[in-house]
Structure 1
Amino acid sequence: MSPIVLRTFRVKKRRLVLLVALVFLAFYLSRSKHELAEQKAVEVMSPSLANRIIVVDPGHGGIDPGVVGRSGTLEKDIVLEVGRRLEVNLEQAGATVLMTRDTDTDLSDPGTIGASAKKREDLKRRVALANDNKADLYVSIHVNSTSDASRRGAQTFVQQGAPESKKASQFIQSELAGTLKNTDRQPSEIDLYISRSTSMPTVIVEIGFMTNEAEAKLLNDPTYQGKVAWAIYAGVVKYFAQGGVTALGPPENEQVIKTFKEQSPGRISEP
């Protein structure tokens, strides 16, 4: 190859590399601009959470670890971190947030013997927490697992025949898909004690698969946990801003909520 041809080839190659870099930069800037606009839109709608009582339920806890990852990571720890971040987002928007647990404990009595008995007690008290305080929404956070290690992605679940729960789950599912960009799943119906027994819209959010190696690493990443929490928060905001159940105004049981948040001795585990 002659020197002239070689120089021409190198110039064209550099131009091609530069062109590719410019395309990626344009894509990144466009995506960042879209994400910023989306965040601003959520901020505009956030007043819809005023006077709302929202129960945030990080699944499992105490003697129940939930799914255990290959590296020993516990579901109960991951969902607690996401739940805490979600709590902060919701409270900053003016909602009253009741956490079913904010430490690695449960709501069963110390004297209750047996894992099954403790779990039943936990479930009953979790439902009572939401129903007694007339919560507007119940969000239960979990990590999924399956024998198929290739499966990944977040998904929401609701009680069979619960249209308002389905509506809330669709908003949350849409935000999970748009923010995490790891799923095209749609809300699915189930039949669980929690979703069946609560008197308000209830959404169970499986934030990803611990059995997928790549996703398990993401679920352990604090930055990713923050993105998950933001997606759930954005879905909740849009649900109430665009057709969610009507707020009842300042809660009549304000003192009950205050007492719970200040004195609650424990939190509940997951089915």
Structure 2
Amino acid sequence: MKKKGFLEFAMTILLLAGAFFLPRESAQMLQSATTDPITVLIDVGHGGADSGKVGVNGALEKDINLQISLRLQSLLKEAGITAILTRDTDKGLYQETDSNKKLADMKARIQMITDVDADIVVSIHQNSYSKSSVSGAQVFYYTSSEQGQQLAQAIQDGFDYALGDRNTRSIKANKDYYILVHSPIVSVICECGFLSNPEEADLLTTSDYQQKIAQSICNGILNYFQNSNQSTLS
């Protein structure tokens, strides 16, 4: 099978993993191509005094971020991937004595990224916009990062497959977001939906939709590493 055909086939299989296979079974395809362990740092956006966006239904971004991240961590672990969270409770990464808690929190996240020596960083967030009609999941990557673009596209493909026609957004380059600018490794930011959209805000608070989002991201991560390994071996 030609390389292009194989990659298309692998992507299809991995995107279908949420419906037909357990993550562990999907990961066997990946593990067959490499013996190197994979570590993913899941950056759980906001927390503590920083609630992030507030939905039109009153939902707090920090809470939704945590629920999706916990589900993603579980799925990645089932796939044999080490998954580390920047936070696993409603607590920011700052000290109460910090004069600028937001900056202290962001610096602590970058320090954690450096310390754990992960392969990639996936930062979980929710979006908001002045027009309530805007909806959909979207992945951001650092402008000059080719690998970041590849990871973003793999996860975006997962979103598009799982969410169907309701998701029409595309990956977007960014040179300003703190995590993307300062992270020493491949990083993306997943904006999982718009809390300013009434329908999407309600969906994002349900366990079923949170699981669907987490599975989409997991499939995208598996696909990214599968394609990366195949390119290295070819």
Q: TM-score range by the shorter chain?
A: 0.7 to 0.9
Give the whole-Å Cα distance in 2 for the aligned partners of 1:107 and 1:244. 34
Partner residue in 1 for 2:188: 203
Partner of 2:224: 239
**1:64 alignment partner in structure 2:** 50
Size of the aligned set, in residue pairs, is: 211
SS in 2 for 1:243: helix
**Whole-Å separation in 2 of the counterparts to 1:158 and 1:228:** 18
Query: How much identity, in percent, do the aligned residues show?
Result: 35
Determine if contact 1:156/1:203 at 8 Å carries over to the other structure.
yes
Distance 1:36 1:125 in 2: 34
Which deviates more from structure 2 when the two are superposed, residues 209-218 or residues 181-190? Answer: 181-190
In structure 2, do the counterparts of structure 1 residues 77 and 244 end up closer, same or farther at CA, with 3 Å as the change threshold?
farther
Contact 1:157 1:169 in 2 (8 A): yes
Per-residue CA deviations over 1:28-84 (Å, capped at 9, x if unaligned) read xxxxxx957864396544143761111111211111111111221101111110000
Residue 21 of structure 2: aligned partner: 40
- Contact preservation (8 Å) 1:136, 1:245: no
Question: What stretches of structure 1 of length at least 5 have no aligned partner?
Answer: 1-33, 248-271
1:112 maps onto 2:95 in alignment: no
Match of 2:3 in 1: none
Which one of the candidate residues 51, 62, 65 is aligned to 1:79? 65
Give the aligned residue type for 1:154: A
| Structure 2: tracts of 5 or more residues without a match | 1-14
1:140 aligns with 2:123: yes
**Cα RMSD after superposing both structures:** 2.3
Whole-angstrom distance in 2 between the partners of 1:150 and 1:122 = 32
- Counterparts of 1:145 and 1:108 in 2: how far apart (Å)? 24
State how far apart, in whole Å, the 1-side matches of 2:228 and 2:119 are.
Answer: 13
Point out the structure with max Rg over C-alpha.
1
Question: 2:6 maps to which residue?
Answer: none
TM-score normalized by the length of structure 2:
0.84
Partner of 1:111, secondary structure, is coil
1:139 maps to amino acid: V
Provide the C-alpha distance between the structure 2 equivalents of 1:57 and 1:91, rounded to a whole number of angstroms.
16
The reply on whether 1:175 has 2:161 as its aligned counterpart is no
From 172, 192, 201, the equivalent of 1:188 is 172
Q: Helix, strand or coil: the match of 2:51? A: coil
Residue 184 of structure 1, CA deviation? 2.4
User: How many Å separate the matches in 1 of 2:38 and 2:105?
Assistant: 24
Structure 2 distance, partners of 1:60, 1:164, is 25
Task: Choose 103-112 or 37-46, whichever is displaced more.
Answer: 37-46
**CA offsets, 1:147-196, max 9 Å, x none?**
11111110000111110010001000000010011212211011212111
2:57 and 2:201 in contact (8 A); partners too: no
